[in-house]
A and B are shown apart, each in its own frame.
Chain A
Amino acid sequence: MSGLVVDVSKCRGCGRCVRACASQGIVIQQRLAQVTPNCIACGMCIDACPFDALSIVKDAVDTKSDANGVWVFAQYDSGALAAVTLELLGKARELADDSNTSLTALLAIDSEQECNEIAQKLIAHGADRVLICVDNRFANHTTNVFAAWICDMVNEYSPAILLIGATNFGRELAPCVAAQLRTGLTADCTVLAMDKETGLLHQTRPAFGGNLMATIMCPNHRPQMSTVRPGIFPPSEYCESRTGEIIHTKLRDSIEPNVTLLEKLPDDAGDSLLDDDTLVVVGRGIGSQKNLPLMQKFADLIHAGLGCSRPLVESGWLEYKHQVGQTGLAVAPKVLISIGVSGAIQHLAGIGSAETIIAINPDASAPIHSVATYSIKNDALEVVKELVEQLQP
């Protein structure tokens, strides 16, 4: 059986594994570590063991395949390609070059008119081949229709890698595809790299809990699937002279949208943090909700957008669209002023592309200072009050 195993020749019964375990999955008995039924095989204890006595073993599965090529799903919404599609093409181009394979973009679209122009655009941005399907069943972005087509294409062409943007739509589509293909899916990757020897994709994302990054692989199943948030990778360059192949494909007749769109309520708020060159990002260190207006005032004085860390959204101080981080927005302003934010790894995942970071946080050991260009190790309220006073006309 697979699971966590203790190498009794190496275990000294020190108990570090027991302290590392969050689920009482390991105990010390007769000076040896023993796995209990509570073990969820999370691997925390493996990192904690100084003697290399713990490992997770897995029954071998052999599903060797000749899967080949890197694929990107092109999200096309209301007449435009989603920005994340171009970002994925840039990264996918690198991965394809590193493994000497080709890059294919998948375009499912309901209008014949635009499809060639968009396919050309995908090629100019790096695709060697575009698989297109024009069908009016794609009109309302019902995931089951897209998933059916993508799965048919995967079964026909066997790609090694499939990347999907972690938009709202992509975050629903990707798991539908992964479950149908019974393959692995890693959410919200921040680093993707090719292992040139094994051809395996290293998918890196912040680990669950703790200031750790985890690298995840999908060794025996194809395609290897990842989602990536918008803003994590730079968009690929447009190169007019690139050429590529366009293949028209069909959607199975039997598939019908299983969700009916009754009404669209477009968002009136066009104010996205992604458009701001300057951002003020506030965290729990601002102390209380009643200090928010002061922070907003400071942001207004320097014409900056206002973002925040996750706890502020959880407490209902600001809406989700203000959240910066791995599970919020990945922002890329010229200047980011971070106020009362500790700089947890999930938060840092969203600010890696900011050009200059100015951190205000009295805790000199807060990780935010180690990514900042300028640090002010002082009380946020004091400093911001001064700033507002001095800036006010």
Chain B
Amino acid sequence: MRTLVCIKAVPSSTEVKMDPVTNTIIRDGKQSVVNPFDQAALEEAICIKEQLGGSIIVLSMGIPATEGLLRDCLSRGADRGILLSDRAFAGADTLATSYALSCALEQLRTANEFPSLIICGKMAVDGDTAQIGPELATTLGIPSIVNVEKVLAVSEEEITVRRITDLGREIVSCKLPALITVTKDIRIPRMPSIAGVRFGETGPVEVFGAQGVGADATRCGLNGSPTQVVRSFTPERTHEAITIEGTSSEQAAQLIDVLGGFGL
């Protein structure tokens, strides 16, 4: 069974600290990491491979340095990496990103290597839009199931999963090929083995630009992004709080008075 996992590089800490004077990011010197939800997605793919055999492709759109993260995925159990890296992809919103990813998948389709199952993390910790999975599935014309917390059964033809819905949980199934997005709790990512680390260094990672995957330049990057950030601003807060002073026991007593005022 061939699976493909979509990987996003995210800052190692999502708490970007801003310098209040210059209004710029204070970098902590740490590198990017694989989005934790995608790490869980990869682990699920590895478990499926252990059960059914087959291979795993990891796919990312990102800056050239993202290759290192794909190699990390190889060291944990992926077989092959595909990186889409090109200035033409820069500034992509979710629509343009899912289009670029779909181009790589269309190339696999042409080569008769289209995966039976595509797994995405439910969301990326830096953006949290949770849009890429369903947009990619729609662009590829395959079914999607989001918010999957457990894969109950999978074969070449069909997958059965438990997913989280607005009213609880559901067990659903669909025909493959399909795309699922998974919660972070679905699996705990494993550490690379020693042999894995070696494979990570030498294993195949192909890098393609927009032309290399046959992408239509007008649908990539900024040009292909319907949304535009027009303005960022720091919200004004002019409000003054009433400070409750004193020792902690005095503060507690005053707070209890305040709460009493609300009938608590």
Contact = CB atoms under 8 A, between A and B. Distances in A.
B79 interface: no
A386 B237 contact: no
Interface string B158-170: 0010101111111
A239 to B, nearest CB: 27
Interface size class of A (residues with CB under 8 A): 35 or more
B165 A169 contact: yes
Interface in B197-230: 218, 221-223, 225-230
Q: Which 10 A-B pairs have the closest CB atoms?
A: A41-B91, A184-B226, A209-B16, A386-B252, A267-B168, A184-B227, A179-B138, A258-B143, A221-B226, A187-B129
Interface in B220-264: 221-223, 225-235, 237, 239, 241-244, 248-249, 251-253, 255-256, 258-259, 262, 264
A77 interface: yes
B187 interface: no
A217 B227 CA distance: 6
Contacts, number: 279
A185 B166 contact: no
Contact of A386 (B15, B223, B249): B249
A263 B23 contact: no
Contacts of A23: 63
Q: Looking at B22, B136, B223, B235, which has the most chain A CB atoms within 10 Å of its CB?
A: B235
Interface of A: 1-4, 16, 19-20, 22-25, 37-44, 47-48, 56, 58-59, 61, 77-78, 82, 141, 143-144, 147, 167-169, 171-172, 174-176, 178-180, 182-188, 202, 207-221, 258-267, 278, 302-304, 326-327, 334-335, 344-345, 356, 358-359, 367, 369-379, 382-383, 385-387, 389-391
Interface size class of B (residues with CB under 8 A): 35 or more
B257 to A, nearest CB: 11
B14 A39 contact: no
B172 A262 contact: yes
A278 B223 CA distance: 48
A356 B262 contact: yes
9 contacts: A2-B91, A22-B27, A212-B234, A261-B170, A335-B264, A370-B237, A374-B244, A390-B252, A390-B253
A45 B248 CA distance: 45
Nearest to B251: A376
Interface string B129-149: 111111111110001111100
Contacts of A212: 18, 232-234
B94 interface: yes
A60 to B, nearest CB: 10
